[in-house]
Amino acid sequence: NDQVSMSATLKRCYNYLTETSRSFSAVIQALDGELRDAICIFYLVLRALDTVEDDMTIDNKLKIPMLKNFYKNLQDPQWHFTESKEKDRIVLEDFPAITREFHELAGVYHEVISDICCKMGHGMTVFLDRDIDTIEEWNEYCHYVAGLVGIGLSRLFSASGLEDPCVGKDTALANNMGLFLQKTNIIRDYLEDILQGRKFWPKAVWSKYVEQLTDLALEKNRTQAVHCLNELITNALELVPDCITYMSRIHNQSVFNFCAIPQVMAIATLERCYNNPAVFTGVVKIRKGEAVKMMMGSTSLEKVKAIMYHFTSEIYRRIPENDPNAERTRQVCMKALASS
């Protein structure tokens, strides 16, 4: 859309989007019609909430009510927070700009954004003072921070009229789209997170390999650590068939690109991480050139299926004979290959 007709605060909001999200900014700005502004604001509201969650300098006694009541800030034109130390603190410092543009959106978008913000804020408090133990709790945490995003986005797609009502109704598939992205981030960011004292890997899995989560980073545990990594990647790969089913229902090209590009980046990341000890010594990132090539090639369901097939078979090819989960990983890869 032309810059001239965009208000000054909306322009600032798009600047915050670009500053706080490498992976979502371009695909959000390419969205058609009312979805572009609605999803830009949806992103900024949740990024502000997540910036509170991520800030380890905020005491839990203050953080819990901040998270639970965050959605109410959208009804207070003046609310902002200047005490954050986080990289994305600008969205908290200038929250009034986000609130103003939130109120410019059509009513149907307000309800979704406010409802998801409320549920995410409550969900984030559940794991503030307790660890993620079982796989079910891992799924629960990822539901709160990413599954709910998928559910909200799907409701926005259908509300805009650009996608069928069924997209907004099938919350299980929308949830799993978010889980696939969040589990991939958690697997990739192991070292970065433990260096900040943040524990997102489920204890039921890592405790089979080491005494403490941080022990996975010790050179002497390298083989155990990689087998633990492979088990979590196998768990994430179980979501591939649902993600493909979800994307097969999307008809609008700009919405398809928005959904497909993060998924393609995620499967490529899982493939780079699989059986890769570098996860425990640094952060495994996709090279920009590789990413651009994949983005160009993610504009149709057939192309996305081909990319999912490619990276899943690359993982299948590299399953170590001595990996305790080898048979399970082969089964999950076969199921993913059959769906792509």
Ligand X SMILES: O=C(O)CO[C@@H](C(=O)O)[C@@H](OCCCCCc1ccc2ccccc2c1)C(=O)NCCCCCc1ccc2ccccc2c1
Q: Which residues are catalytic?
A: 141, 188, 198, 258
Q: How many angstroms separate the CA atoms of 294 and 292, rounded? A: 5
Which among 265, 317, 306, 328 has a CA at the least distance from the CA of 24?
265
The 47-76 site mask, x for binding Mg ion (CB under 5 A), equals ---x--xx----------------------
Q: Which partner, ligand X, Mg ion, none, binds residue 191 by CB below 5 to 8 Å per kind? A: none
Q: How far is CA 165 from CA 39, 90, 168, 241, in A?
A: 18, 35, 6, 21
259 contributes a contact to ligand X by CB under 6 A:
yes
Q: Does 185 bind ligand X (CB under 6 A)?
A: yes
Site string for ligand X, 24-63 (x = CB under 6 A): x--------------x--xx--xx--x---x---------
User: Which of Mg ion, ligand X, none is residue 167 near (CB under 5 to 8 Å by kind)?
Assistant: none
Q: Looking at beta carbons only, is 177 or 205 nearer to ligand X?
A: 177
State in angstroms the smallest separation of the CB of 262 from ligand X: 5
3-state helix, strand, coil in the chain (%, to 5): 75, 0, 25
CB of 340 to Mg ion, least distance (A): 29
Helix axes 301-317, 222-237, angle to 10 degrees: 150
Q: Which of 92, 91, 86, 95 is nearest to 57 (CA)?
A: 86
To Mg ion, the closest distance from the beta carbon of 1 in angstroms equals 29
In angstroms, what is the minimal distance from the CB of 78 to ligand X? 24
Q: Is the dihedral of CA 97, 99, 103, 105 positive or negative?
A: positive
Q: What is the distance between the terminal CA atoms of the chain, rounded to a whole angstrom?
A: 35
Task: Give backbone dihedrals phi and psi of 184, rounded to 5 degrees, phi first.
Answer: -65, -45
Residue 222 in tokens: 């390298």
Q: Which of 96, 262, 297, 320 binds ligand X (CB under 6 A)?
A: 262
Which of residues 185 and 313 has its CB atom nearest to Mg ion in the complex? 185
**Cβ of residue 204: shortest distance to ligand X, in angstroms?**
20
Least CB distance to Mg ion at residue 60 (A): 14
95 binds, among Mg ion, ligand X, none (CB under 5 to 8 A by kind): none
Identity at 37, one-letter amino acid code: D
Closest CB 311 distance from Mg ion, rounded Å: 25
146 sits near ligand X (criterion: CB under 6 A): yes
Q: How far apart are CA 271 and CA 43, in angstroms?
A: 27
Stretch that binds Mg ion, among 21-29, 44-52, 105-113, 251-259 (CB under 5 A): 44-52
Query: Site residues for ligand X, window 310-339 (CB under 6 A)?
Result: none
Rule CB under 6 A: say whether 181 interacts with ligand X.
yes
Q: Which stretch binds ligand X (CB under 6 A): 143-151, 163-171, 231-239, 322-330?
A: 143-151
**Nearest C-alpha neighbor of 54 from the set 45, 44, 63:** 63
Footprint (CB under 5 A) of Mg ion, residues 234-293: none
Enter the tokens of residue 186.
């958690």
Cα 134 from Cα 115, distance rounded (Å): 27
From the list 74-82, 97-105, 148-156, 270-278, the region that binds ligand X by CB under 6 A is: 148-156
Q: What is the DSSP string of 147-186?
A: IHHHHHHHHHHHHTTSS-HHHHH-HHHHHHHHHHHHHHHH
Cα 209 from Cα 60, distance rounded (Å): 31
Residues that bind ligand X (CB under 6 A): 24, 39, 42-43, 46-47, 50, 54, 145-146, 149-150, 153, 174, 177-178, 181-182, 185, 259, 262
Residues that bind Mg ion (CB under 5 A): 50, 53-54
